[in-house]
Structure 1
């Protein structure tokens, strides 16, 4: 064979190799994407916090992602398919991961490239649904996710679940060709676990909430829920006051009539303590002699004892527990956002306050934890308590013309007892004036 023929053969081989390489490149297909151009149909929360994660609210709203892809070397023999898998076992390029009796990846979208710019939409419910296409079954695939997939089983972890969304060219023989693109994200369908206990403390038109620190790593704060809401108390709550509670002990009771005044003059009014009304019993003591007044004072002790029976409620560990008079708050359930009445930020927060409340009015309150995508968890134990004016004694003392100060304040009752003492002072003064007028008239 001469030299010219060998040269021609070499050229032919080189051309054939170039054709094969070009054909392989054309059938391979490459996919890239600018992630900052990803769009979402629904914007329900603060997008500065994990804007591309999927929350439960996103899922329930049937949110849709729009992915702007740039594809090269595409052909009619391969389609762009989108498969989702767990990053710890993610190998969606493997045929066995997408087919067979136990696939580990699930398809959420498919499209054919007609140009270099390709837009693909993927439903959030399809991502979280994990409806795999098992051999011999027609279930799974794009559109198979439903609203039911947005709620995790009660035994599921509340931590965010990582996934990888894979964009790949898949041939007619179900093989992956070219260079695909993997986009990692997470879905979080449940809020953090709630505090295991809740304690309430009283204040003037406010209640203080305290709870043990939680351990969930994705927790960002807490929300408070009230029934009724501040400013929406109405009249229905009146039945929540229990006999012998602090609120009933502070009630004024019946207005004394002539017979009561006569009894006071004789000094026998001290027996009023047996009626359970500390205020009325104490008033009888003012009308009688020193000795009978002491007996009447013991009547006030009866009322104090009844008031102390509510002390457990004041610390948030009342016997009612979750049986507070509410039909809207229940431990272990996701709360109605319309009942939100306060919040505390930070993973280490252990206390907060609900303000703007009505004194001597019973409120049912519970706490729920919140995560980084706005999911609100289930409620803590529900506790109930009424705010109390903590300085009623001093207010009433000054309003009555009192000018004492300094060391006098150090012996003044505060908290729950302040209201009772203050009311007793006013009642004693009023009945003393009545008795004095009767003596003058006689």
Structure 2
């Protein structure tokens, strides 16, 4: 007999996954059973400070009361209609999300990858219908070291071989240029270019922040060349960097905005393409869709997320606490930290490889009650919920200092 989940230890549950789950993840050996705010608890009752926040999906912390209430209220009324019918929650969600982002129209989807795929389709359709690119010849320019998702189309323009190897043949129509290189971008854009698709900050690459003026340059170039600027803010958006959107640090408004992760409040997957009317207007009935996209439960939770952001409280918290994060990391430079990049409550921290890989540092932090995740090499990512306190943040940085000292 299989023991009930509540009677099984962390080690039991990890072993039980091995024969029945696909091995497409290598999670840290912690089994989370409960969570509240910035804290999670494993099945044995050990508590951990969550310094990853679901790769920014939990910007508002675990089980934020307003978001839980919105979900509970909607669960008692209506969860799914499909887009075959209207539902009474979708209009408000779209109205408020468009207003929050300064754009006009919303295409609701579920996951971040779906939003990226949808943005690509919208851009290609716009290129053919509006720009006049010959059918089948539209190109999209992207940046090296990007991370936009895991579908076959998206990995076709990844430069990460672990994401690509074994998944070809790949989708054509993409040109890859170095990130943060306006000259290379200028050379790659031509009359066939439908859009330039970039992350305002590259998350998976290690929280890579471009030079000041880069986003402004991308905006100016795309306008001059007559193509679209698509900003993938699935990780960087919705308060994470101290602004509603990371592009706001340069007062840039893209033609197309991709959102996800935090838009679902850590409760349900919610994503969206938000765009100018003349761009989104190219879609007609039957040309794109999603059974669950824009469902009433997602719309209710998404509206509650937008309502939290409308106050500006979380953007201010990320901005102010980001100073605490930056000061703490600066103090660790030369003490095991070889460099870091931070904006708001988001940082990529490079650890001296002599002290361990990013994975090893993450495991040591886990044993001390701090949850982070490594990325490439000896780099770890810090992205706590925006509900974290300054004291909790300083405590986590103190633990990082301790772990690095022990490793040295």
Same fold (TM over 0.5): no
Larger RCO (alpha carbons 8 Å, 6+ apart): 2
The structure in which a higher percent of residues are strand is 1
Normalization by structure 2: what TM-score?
A: 0.21
Normalization by structure 1: what TM-score?
A: 0.20
The structure in which a higher percent of residues are helix is 2
Higher-Rg structure is: 1
